[in-house]
Every structure is written in structure tokens, then in C-alpha cells.
């Protein structure tokens, strides 16, 4: 039951209880409690009034039988009242059980008094000539002229207050318990315990609050974890940049000082020093360009020029353009299973950069002898799979997932910055993901890089294709 409904029902019940208590108190105050003795006492006085009213008629033509009939009609039967009609001392007729005691004798012989009371027995005497009409009640309660305090309404209000207190307590508990649980959760989050979750089994508004709180805690934990991961990556990025920039800068400084201080005395040495400075400057330029491209991709501020491309034809042309160049560098490129009509929407220039990064890595880290790279392109269901598979030593299993991290390189590569900046595969992954695909690495008698791009159905616009 919702809290809103609970509050409505509790307020409605409180109103009903209060109104019932007021109504009962008024009713009790007006009619009093049910008391048979007071009922008979009232009947006793009502009958006296009847006798006094009828006395004039009875005196005109005194008829005992008529008097008995009138008294029966007054309601004496089936009550604690009785009636006796005497002529002098002779009993003529009765109604009910007439007591024969000293009280009746007093009522007959005392002409100046009309009421005679002994305990709960009372008699009223009326004389008409030589006749005595005596009314008797054996359940008499003397009427007290002083006001009495009726404790029943006070008792009723006390009961109502207790019931209201119980209702308020139950309602209070149903609200305060989940509030305390929510407070505990906030304190746990404040203290850094992001794994804390609220456990609440109710089905009211607090159920959704607890669920939202748990979802918030989960998202906050995810953000904190991502921030810590980003902070760690940023530190590694800065460390990698510092390391990769320091080596060529040191070389440039050393050779520049050699020129300025006259260490290179001959023209050949001066030319060699200058050429080395140019090479190191080129290395610096490459690192800066790679870092700039990576930062643009990382901030998603790198627009792509997407076109519909037949990946099979593009790969065949790319291989033809590069097979001779890389053969001179010791890498044999082999065209494997390259299917046609493998249509994907890509940025041709950036995809060529990805392919070049993979070829460069194979030259640097592939087989020392007879270095070979097989390239395949296939349609696999709704995707295009492009595979670069070398015959090199592969990568340790625990390092496969790190290949596409920024500035990740093997220890030997880190000690030899000429082997690369460590940004090539990270840039390649960002480019592929920006185009809606994915790139992964696995060991299979060498290292296999698998690029997966979403396949596009339909024809090509050849005017927009630039291989």
C-alpha cells in the first residue's frame, strides 16, 4: 500500500473515531446508561402524576373497578410497581405483588404524609373519602438533585486517544524505517562505500526511491572507476610522452652542441651531425602528429569522410601499391581470401593509416627471418572481417588486451623508441570504433589482427570512391 493511501486511511480512521466518540458522549449524556432501577423509578413518578390527574374524575363517581382498569392502562403490569385499593382497612383489589409490611400500614393511617420510603421500597398514598389508593415500588432509586460527573465520556476519549496513538505509531514506523535506511545509505556513499545497496522489501514509494538510490550508487561507482582508470591512463600517457620525447631531444641537443662547440671539425662530421638532427626532428614530428591525432580521436573531435567502399577491391589495390616497398624492408605480403562485394562505409584515408600501422608493426615485431603477412577479407553474416595474420612470435596472452592501449609496448620496444611511439594500435582502434567497427588481437601461429566493420547492403557510388 502506498504511503499516500496509508495517510488517507489513517486520517479517515482518526476522523471516524473522533466523531464516534463525540456522538457516543452526547448520546450517553442525553439518555444515560441503561439502568432498570431508574426506569422503574421514573415509572413510579409518572404513575403518581397519572393518579393526581385522574383524582378529580375518580371522586365524581367513585368506581373501584374503573380505577383498577385505569391503573392497569398506566403500565403497572410487568414492573416492580404494585397498586392496592383499600376501603378503610379492608383491601378491595390489587395490581402486582403488594407487600404487606409496616410501610403499607403507615401509608394507610398517616393522613398528613403521602410518601413513605424504606431502603429501595417507596409508597405513595392518595385518599379519596374513606378509600386509600396506595402505589408501591420495590426498586426505588432516590433522585439526587446534585449533578454527578459522568466518567464514561472521559474513558471513551482516553480509549480513542490510545487507539490514535497506536495508529500514528504504526504510520510513523512505516515511514521512519525506510528513511533511516536511506540515511544509512547516504552516509555509506559519503564515506566512500560505493558498493552499499539499500535492501527494502516494501511496495510503496520508498521501493522506487531505494531502486533509484541503488542505480545512482552503481552509476557513481562506475564513474569513479572510469575516472580512476582515466587518471591512470593519463599518467601513463604523460610518462610515455615524456619518455618518447626525451630520447630524440637528448640526441638533438647533443649533436647541436657538437656543432656549436666545434666537436664536428670536418665537413663530413658536420654533415653527419646535421643529418642526425634532421632524423631526430622527424621522429619528434611523427610523435607529435600521432599524439595530436590520438587526442582528436579521444575527444571525438575528429570528423570522418565516410564513403561506400568495396573492401576487397580497396585491399587488393592497397597491397599492390605497397607489396614492393615492404618486400625491400623484409616483409612479404600475401593476398589471401579476399572476397568482392564486401561493402562497408569507411573513411578511406584513415583506414589506409590503420593498415599501414599494422604493416609497420609486422616489420618491427614480426618474424626475424622470412617475415610474412597474410591479408584476408570476407563477408561474415552482417559484417566484413579483415584479417592481418603474421608468422611472428605472437604476444604473451596476458598482454594481448593491452596491445591497443596508448603507449603500450613490449619492454624491448620501450628501450628502443625507434621501433615506434606506442600510439599506432591505439589510434587504429579509435579509428575503427569511430567507423562503428571493432579490432582485436589473438595468437594463432603468430599474431592475428581482426578488423570487423558493419557490412552495408546496396550498390556503390563509384564517383565517391578514392582508393
User: What is the per-residue pLDDT for 411?
Assistant: 46
- Cell readout for 37 is 432501577
Element (H, E) at 372: strand 371-380
Is the pLDDT assigned to residue 218 strictly greater than 60? yes
Task: Sort strands 90-95 and 121-128 into parallel, antiparallel or unpaired.
Answer: unpaired
User: What is the per-residue pLDDT for 91?
Assistant: 83
DSSP for 219-269, please give it. Answer: HHHHHHHHHHHHHHHHHHHHHHHHHHHHHHHHHHHHHHHHHHTT---SHHH
Is the pLDDT assigned to residue 463 strictly greater than 70? no
Query: What is the rounded distance in angstroms from the CA atom of residue 330 to the CA atom of residue 364?
Result: 10
- The position carrying cell 622527424 is 282
User: What is the per-residue pLDDT for 33?
Assistant: 44
Query: What is the rounded distance in angstroms from the CA atom of residue 289 to the CA atom of residue 247?
Result: 17
User: What is the per-residue pLDDT for 303?
Assistant: 74
Is the pLDDT assigned to residue 454 strictly greater than 90? yes
Question: What CATH class has 200-300?
Answer: mainly alpha
pLDDT band at 389 (very low <50, low <70, confident <90, very high): very high
CATH of 36-137, picked from 3.30.450, 2.60.40, 1.10.3470, 1.10.20, is 3.30.450
Is the pLDDT assigned to residue 300 strictly greater than 70? no
pLDDT band at 108 (very low <50, low <70, confident <90, very high): low
Residues 46-87 have pLDDT tens digits of 888 888 888 888 888 888 888 888 888 877 766 678 888 888
Is the pLDDT assigned to residue 420 strictly greater than 70? no
User: Which range is least confidently modeled, 43-47, 109-113, 128-132, 266-270?
Assistant: 109-113
User: What is the per-residue pLDDT for 374?
Assistant: 94
* Higher pLDDT, residue 103 or 327: 327
Is the pLDDT assigned to residue 103 strictly greater than 70? no
129-152 average pLDDT score: 68
Domain boundaries, the chain: 3-32+150-184, 36-137, 200-300, 307-464
Residues 345 and 435: beta-carbon distance below 8 Å: yes
Is the pLDDT assigned to residue 301 strictly greater than 50? yes
Q: What is the CATH number of domain 307-464?
A: 3.30.565.10
Is the pLDDT assigned to residue 371 strictly greater than 80? yes
* Higher pLDDT, residue 194 or 52: 52
Element (H, E) at 331: strand 331-338
Residues 139-148 have pLDDT tens digits of 766 555 444 5
Same fold, 36-137 and 307-464: no
Residues 451 and 437: beta-carbon distance below 8 Å: yes
User: What is the per-residue pLDDT for 394?
Assistant: 87
Q: Which residues of 241-259 are buried (b: 16+ CB within 10 A; e: fewer)?
A: beebbebbeebbeebeebe
User: What is the per-residue pLDDT for 378?
Assistant: 92
pLDDT band at 462 (very low <50, low <70, confident <90, very high): very low
* Higher pLDDT, residue 426 or 372: 372
- The position carrying cell 514509494 is 205
Round the average pLDDT of the chain to a whole number and report it.
78
User: What is the per-residue pLDDT for 439?
Assistant: 92
Query: What is the rounded distance in angstroms from the CA atom of residue 384 to the CA atom of residue 343?
Result: 8
Is pTM beyond 0.85? Reply is no
User: What is the per-residue pLDDT for 412?
Assistant: 46
Is the pLDDT assigned to residue 409 strictly greater than 60? no
Query: What is the rounded distance in angstroms from the CA atom of residue 135 to the CA atom of residue 231?
Result: 110
- Cell readout for 67 is 380505577
The residues near 118 (Cβ < 8 Å, ≥ 6 apart) are 103
User: What is the per-residue pLDDT for 142?
Assistant: 57
User: What is the per-residue pLDDT for 452?
Assistant: 95
How many C-beta neighbours within 10 Å does residue 443 have? 13
Strand segments, DSSP code E, in 99-233 are: 115-118, 121-128, 131-137
Query: What is the rounded distance in angstroms from the CA atom of residue 181 to the CA atom of residue 173?
Result: 12
Is the pLDDT assigned to residue 259 strictly greater than 50? yes
Amino acid at each position: 500500500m502506498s504511503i499516500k493511501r496509508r495517510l488517507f486511511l489513517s486520517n479517515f480512521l482518526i476522523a471516524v473515531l473522533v466523531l464516534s466518540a463525540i456522538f457516543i458522549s452526547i448520546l450517553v449524556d442525553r439518555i444515560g446508561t441503561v439502568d432498570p432501577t431508574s426506569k422503574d423509578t421514573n415509572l413510579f413518578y409518572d404513575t403518581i402524576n397519572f393518579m393526581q390527574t385522574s383524582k378529580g374524575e375518580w371522586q365524581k363517581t367513585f368506581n373501584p373497578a374503573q380505577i383498577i382498569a385505569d391503573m392497569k392502562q398506566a403500565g403497572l403490569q410487568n414492573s416492580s410497581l404494585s397498586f392496592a385499593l383499600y376501603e378503610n382497612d379492608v383491601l378491595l383489589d390489587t395490581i402486582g405483588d403488594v407487600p404487606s409490611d409496616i410501610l403499607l400500614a403507615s401509608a394507610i393511617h398517616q393522613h398528613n404524609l403521602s410518601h413513605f420510603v424504606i431502603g429501595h421500597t417507596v409508597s405513595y398514598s392518595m385518599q379519596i373519602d374513606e378509600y386509600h389508593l396506595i402505589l408501591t415500588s420495590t426498586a426505588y432509586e432516590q433522585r439526587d438533585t446534585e449533578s454527578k460527573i459522568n466518567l464514561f465520556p472521559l474513558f471513551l476519549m482516553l480509549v480513542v486517544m490510545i487507539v490514535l496513538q497506536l495508529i500514528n505509531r504504526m504510520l510513523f514506523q512505516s515511514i521512519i524505517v525506510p528513511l533511516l535506511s536511506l540515511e544509512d545509505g547516504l552516509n555509506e556513499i559519503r564515506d566512500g562505500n560505493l558498493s552499499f545497496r539499500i535492501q527494502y522489501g516494501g511496495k510503496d514509494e520508498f521501493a522506487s526511491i531505494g531502486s533509484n538510490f541503488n542505480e545512482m550508487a552503481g552509476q557513481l561507482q562506475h564513474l569513479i572507476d572510469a575516472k580512476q582508470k582515466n587518471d591512470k591512463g593519463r599518467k601513463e600517457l604523460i610518462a610515455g610522452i615524456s619518455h618518447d620525447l626525451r630520447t630524440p631531444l637528448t640526441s638533438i641537443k647533443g649533436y647541436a652542441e657538437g656543432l656549436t662547440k666545434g666537436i664536428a671539425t670536418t665537413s663530413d662530421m658536420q654533415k653527419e651531425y646535421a643529418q642526425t638532427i634532421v632524423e631526430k626532428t622527424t621522429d619528434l614530428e611523427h610523435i607529435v602528429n600521432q599524439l595530436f591525432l590520438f587526442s582528436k580521436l579521444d575527444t571525438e573531435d575528429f570528423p570522418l569522410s565516410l564513403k561506400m567502399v568495396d573492401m576487397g577491391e580497396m585491399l587488393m589495390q592497397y597491397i599492390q601499391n605497397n607489396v614492393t616497398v615492404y618486400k625491400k624492408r623484409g616483409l612479404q605480403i600475401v593476398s589471401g581470401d579476399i572476397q568482392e562485394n564486401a561493402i562497408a562505409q569507411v573513411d578511406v584515408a584513415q583506414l589506409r593509416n590503420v593498415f599501414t600501422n599494422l604493416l609497420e608493426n609486422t616489420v618491427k615485431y614480426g618474424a626475424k627471418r622470412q617475415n610474412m603477412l597474410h591479408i584476408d577479407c570476407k563477408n561474415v553474416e552482417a559484417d566484413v572481417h579483415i584479417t592481418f595474420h603474421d608468422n611472428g612470435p605472437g604476444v604473451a596472452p596476458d598482454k594481448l588486451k593491452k596491445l591497443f592501449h596508448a603507449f603500450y609496448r613490449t619492454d624491448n620496444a620501450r628501450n628502443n623508441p625507434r621501433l615506434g611511439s606506442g600510439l599506432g594500435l591505439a589510434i587504429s582502434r579509435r579509428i575503427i570504433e569511430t567507423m562503428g567497427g571493432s579490432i582485436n588481437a589473438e595468437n594463432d601461429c603468430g599474431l592475428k589482427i581482426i578488423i570487423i566493420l558493419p557490412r552495408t547492403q546496396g550498390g556503390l557510388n563509384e564517383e565517391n570512391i578514392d582508393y
